[in-house]
């Protein structure tokens, strides 16, 4: 009897300790609506907690809102959209069909450089490959023929690419946007600096049911096109904005006064600005 009580007490103690640890880590992956398959991949990578930009945007994206996210380098903005998009595709409103035949892409991600496009493709491949989600990279500097063959096969769920090559493939009729669910602009400020806005606007301006498409814009800085023009043209009126850069500047200016709460960041939506307790790479 004593042994049974002792064993029960030990289990309860371990459970209590686990709950306390999770409370002390508000960004622990267990606190988010992440399904077991993706949780297993995070564990494989050794990811126990989400970064501030990932934590601040996960629920917003999963709940279907358009988003403008600003964070400095090193916050891993890539995983900030990779995780909720994959979760939505396998379990949410954009649940991927089990077709074995032709299917049009549901996600298109635009990046300013080939290297970034390849990096993002690897993330989608690592987390989504074992779930049967197929990704394809479309960028300059590699075989146009090989990329075209993959696209024409009609079994690609996610397209990651640079604006110029993606625009070229659309013009040639090799990319079908009729089933699009997500469109993502990664490092939007860099695309503006590199003179890629015309290509980006061509892609975003294609005719499809915009009401059914979720647009996510991530950037490090906020030049005029990113902050003013892009949101008014391509984001729904109830879009959400997460600004970690502006808040970091505010905290720096207040540091002499002893203000230091690393878990507080600025979150803006249609209803104004508030505070949240959610809280290395691009």
pLDDT single digits (tens) 160-207: 999 999 999 999 999 999 889 999 999 999 999 999 999 999 999 987
* Predicted local confidence at residue 151, as pLDDT: 87
Assess if residue 76 is contained within a domain: yes
Q: What is the CATH number of the domain that holds 138?
A: 3.40.50.300
Assess if residue 19 is contained within a domain: no
3-state secondary structure of 45: helix
For residue 278, pLDDT beyond 50: no
Higher pLDDT, 69 or 282: 69
**Alpha carbon distance 265, 260 (integer Å):** 11
Assess if residue 93 is contained within a domain: yes
For residue 142, give its domain range: 29-276
Q: Residue 138's beta-bridge partner residues?
A: 161
* Predicted local confidence at residue 67, as pLDDT: 97
Percent share of the chain, pLDDT over 70: 74
Q: pLDDT band for 254, please (50, 70, 90 cuts).
A: very low
Mean pLDDT of 225-247: 90
Return the C-alpha torsion angle 208, 214, 220, 222, nearest 10. 60
Q: What value does the CA radius of gyration of the chain take, rounded to a whole number of Å?
A: 21
Ramachandran angles phi, psi of 11, nearest 5°: -60, -45
User: pTM for the full model?
Assistant: 0.80
Which range, of 132-146, 200-214, 236-250, averages the lowest pLDDT? 236-250
**Cα–Cα nearest to 139, from 158, 161, 112:** 161
For residue 97, pLDDT beyond 80: no
Mean pLDDT of 133-148: 86
User: What mean pLDDT value characterizes the chain?
Assistant: 81
* Predicted local confidence at residue 150, as pLDDT: 85
Assess if residue 281 is contained within a domain: no
For residue 142, pLDDT beyond 90: no
Dmax (CA) for the chain in angstroms is 76
Assess if residue 1 is contained within a domain: no
Assess if residue 2 is contained within a domain: no
Pairing of strands 240-243, 158-161: unpaired
**Cα–Cα nearest to 95, from 122, 69, 131, 45:** 131
For residue 255, pLDDT beyond 60: no
Which range, of 45-49, 92-96, 127-131, averages the lowest pLDDT? 92-96
Assess if residue 21 is contained within a domain: no
User: In the chain, how many domains are there?
Assistant: 1
Assess if residue 12 is contained within a domain: no
User: Could you tell me the two tokens for 182?
Assistant: 């997500």
Pairing of strands 240-243, 265-269: antiparallel
CA distances from 208 to 1, 61, 63, 76, 243 (A): 68, 20, 21, 30, 29
Buried b (16+ CB within 10 A) or exposed e, 111-146: bbbbebbebbbebbbebbeeeebbbbbbbeeeeeee
**Cα–Cα nearest to 128, from 30, 35, 33, 31:** 35
């Amino acid at each position: 009897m004593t042994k049974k009580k002792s064993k029960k007490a030990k289990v309860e103690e371990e459970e209590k300790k686990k709950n306390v640890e999770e409370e002390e880590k508000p960004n622990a992956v267990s606190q988010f609506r992440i399904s077991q398959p993706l949780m297993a991949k995070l564990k494989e990578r050794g990811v126990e907690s989400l970064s501030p930009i990932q934590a601040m945007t996960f629920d917003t994206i999963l709940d279907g809102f358009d988003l403008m996210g600003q964070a400095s380098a090193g916050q891993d903005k890539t995983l900030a959209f990779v995780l909720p998009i994959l979760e939505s595709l396998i379990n949410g409103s954009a649940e991927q069909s089990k077709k074995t035949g032709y299917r049009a892409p549901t996600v298109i991600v635009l990046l300013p450089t080939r290297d970034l496009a390849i990096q993002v493709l690897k993330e989608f491949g690592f987390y989504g490959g074992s779930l049967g989600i197929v990704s394809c990279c479309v960028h300059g500097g590699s075989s146009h023929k090989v990329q075209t063959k993959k696209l024409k096969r009609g079994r690609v769920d996610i397209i990651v690419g640079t604006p110029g090559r993606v625009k070229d493939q659309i013009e040639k009729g090799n990319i079908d946007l009729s089933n699009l669910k997500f469109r993502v602009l990664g490092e939007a400020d860099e695309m503006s600096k590199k003179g890629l806005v015309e290509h980006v606007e061509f892609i975003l301006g294609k005719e499809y049911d915009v009401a059914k498409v979720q647009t996510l814009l991530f950037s490090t800085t906020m030049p005029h096109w990113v902050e003013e023009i892009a949101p008014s043209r391509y984001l729904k009126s109830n879009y959400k904005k997460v600004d970690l850069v502006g808040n970091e500047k505010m905290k720096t200016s207040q540091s002499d006064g002893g203000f230091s709460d690393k878990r507080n960041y600025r979150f803006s939506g249609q209803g104004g600005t508030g505070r949240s307790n959610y809280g290395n790479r691009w």
